[in-house]
Amino acid sequence: MANSTTSGSQTNKTGSGPVSALWTEINRCGQNGDFTRALKAVNKILHENKDDVIALRCKIVCLIQNGGFKEALNVMNTHTKSLTSDMIGFEKAYCEYRLNRVEHALKTIQGIPEQTDKLKELYGQVLYRLERYDECLAVYKEMIRNSHDDYEEERKTNLSAVLAAQSTWESTSADLGLPESSYELCYNAACLLIGQGQLSQGMQKLQKAEELCRKSLTEDSDVTEEDVDAELAIIHSQMAYVMQLQGRTEDALQLYNQVIKLKPSDVGLLAVTANNIITINKDQNVFDSKKKVKLTSAEGVEHKLAKKQLQAIEINKALLAMYTNQADQCNKMLASLQTQNPGHPRPVLIKVAQLCREKQHNKAIELLQRFSDQHPESASGIKLTMAQLYLTQGHVTKACDILKSIEEIRYKPGMLSALVTMYTHEEDIDSAIDVFTQAIQYYQSEQPGSAIHLSLVREAANYKLKYGRKKEATSDLEQLWKQNTNDVHTLAQLISAYSLVDQDKAKALSKHLPSPDTMSFNVDVDELENSHGATYIRKKAAKVVGESQPKEPGPEDVKKKKKKKKGKLPKNYDPKSTPDPERWLPMRERSYYRGKKKGKRKEQVGRGTQGATSGASPELDASKSASSPPTSPRPGSGTGTATAVSNVVPPRQQKPAAAGATRKKAPQKKKKGGKGGW
């Protein structure tokens, strides 16, 4: 682009001298890539002639090459009379695209009459940023079909990126048979598979992309290991995403943190990785989530990610604010999300969760009802949440009414099962049977004779039989039996139901039962008895060997009778004395029991009034014992004191002698008539 512009300037040079030397300088700098020096020379020319068109175009090119997109755009807007759209249309659109003014860039491109190849390339990039993937796909297909240059692989890479975005954000898939010769193509193919839900195949493609990336980068001797890791960061982040979807959260978290530690320059990659870590943390490890949420708010993130990615990040921020009890901040974020996308149900559900945390269930239900009325396209998930709230409050019937109003899933087996279970819990058998009836009628008209239709009929019949509605069950059982007249089980159920309703009909149907002779059950009785859970096992008879008659029992075959063991007798047993006839009665109930005799109390040590002495036996008086050692050393006997102290156990550590009987302290009488106590 720069060379074509400067080469054109050589044919329009006028004059000689300093201006000619400046143009020569510009031409040389353009070939060498020194656009800063070329810009200085261009400015000198424009100082002499500010409306020189060639010089202005050269200045715009130099500014673009140096990254001065804003300055270049200012030059174009200042000289609109000299620089027409057909002259600098591509440069203007490119500057607007690089300044993230994508809508303006699209208008500029559409206003250029001649669509060159480079303009089509830029047009495809703009459409991709605007997420208009169908139009972008058509542009790249046409370019690949009509162009034959060295940039075919880059165009195929861009085309594969469009297909991957469609698979991820629009749930559409198309396989154009693109090659996987580079790691970029292989990576985009992996993203396409992941968008289709083929996680294992996507992981294999990512591993292949990693190998191709390492191989291509290690061939360059100037590339360091840090450069390789930085290039692999996006592949590793996508691998961690697949692990997270597969439930391998620990492995995913480890790989995510490795990407964060590398501090890649791509703010979009950092934002997505940090957001996924926050989703793994949920309401746990909130401190780490608060640090990671800062990465999702970096400058320029909004220009690097798709709208759905940005929306998911904002929703997770609101959830984090709710988990950290920042209600005001959470409400502000939710209000902003609802303004941007009024029909999205997620902000409303988060608001409902916040209200439930504040015990405002009625307000939450009103909010859900209002949103479902305003946005019927999102009413299914909203009504399910309403039903859940009613159930938590114990309003089962209201929850059933809400579930029955969801037309999209009203006749799904899971919904029918939930409704029947809840009505049964409320002992409303009629409503439960009505659910079965309506569902059977629906499938009778939509899918007659299908597996789900017949299974519903059978479940309805079993339910009616279980709750004693045999008359109502007969119609369902007849319908099942007509579908398969060889079904003996259904016929038996039908006869059982008619036996209490219409005995003549039961007898007539009994004729269709097979005879016992034709029914072979192939039941192994021995195996059935020996199986786990058998309550009675029949004893097998002893096997008889040969046909010989049993011998007559001889004296040696007679079993000896076991001798009865004699009972043990007490040691003082006297066989001559007659036993006491009242020996089996308790002592108090015997005729000769007179009660305990009140004799003299046994003399006990320590009894009596305080200070009184009792006539203790001499053996208890230690002072009268000649062999008892003195308890204290005699005067003048200083030797041996240390050994005595060390060997004698202190009084509080002595073990008391075993007393003959437990001693009770005698009650003490308080003296009367004195002020001084005792």
Which tens digit of pLDDT belongs to each residue from 444-487? 888 888 888 888 888 888 888 888 887 777 777 777 767 666 66
> How many residues in the chain?
678
More confident residue, 634 or 74: 74
pLDDT for 22 beyond 50 = yes
> Mean pLDDT across the stretch 243-247?
95
Looking at this protein, which amino acid is placed at residue 313? I
Distance set, CA 331 to CA 217, 319, 324, 347 (Å): 48, 10, 13, 9
**pLDDT bracket for residue 538 (50, 70, 90):** low
Looking at this protein, which amino acid is placed at residue 13? K
Average pLDDT taken over every residue of the chain = 80
Dihedral sign for Cα 474, 476, 479, 480, please. Answer: negative
pLDDT for 317 beyond 70 = yes
**pLDDT bracket for residue 598 (50, 70, 90):** low
Q: 349, 413, 353, 403: which is closest to 375 by C-alpha?
A: 349
> Mean pLDDT across the stretch 574-602?
78
Secondary structure E strands in 166-286: none
What does the alpha-carbon distance between residue 124 and residue 138 come to, in Å, rounded to a whole number?
Answer: 9
Buried b (16+ CB within 10 A) or exposed e, 407-419: eeebbeeebbebb
Identify whether the C-beta of residue 227 lies closer than 8 Å to the C-beta of residue 262. Answer: no
pLDDT for 261 beyond 90 = yes
pLDDT for 5 beyond 50 = no
**pLDDT bracket for residue 516 (50, 70, 90):** low
pLDDT for 654 beyond 80 = no
Indicate the DSSP class of residue 297.
G
What does the alpha-carbon distance between residue 400 and residue 420 come to, in Å, rounded to a whole number?
Answer: 9
- Tokens representing 478 are 């007849």
What does the alpha-carbon distance between residue 640 and residue 306 come to, in Å, rounded to a whole number?
Answer: 100
**pLDDT bracket for residue 495 (50, 70, 90):** confident
**pLDDT bracket for residue 526 (50, 70, 90):** confident
What is the pLDDT at residue 521? 62
More confident residue, 639 or 77: 77
What does the alpha-carbon distance between residue 533 and residue 606 come to, in Å, rounded to a whole number?
Answer: 72
pLDDT for 147 beyond 70 = yes
More confident residue, 287 or 663: 287
What is the pLDDT at residue 582? 87
> Mean pLDDT across the stretch 621-630?
46
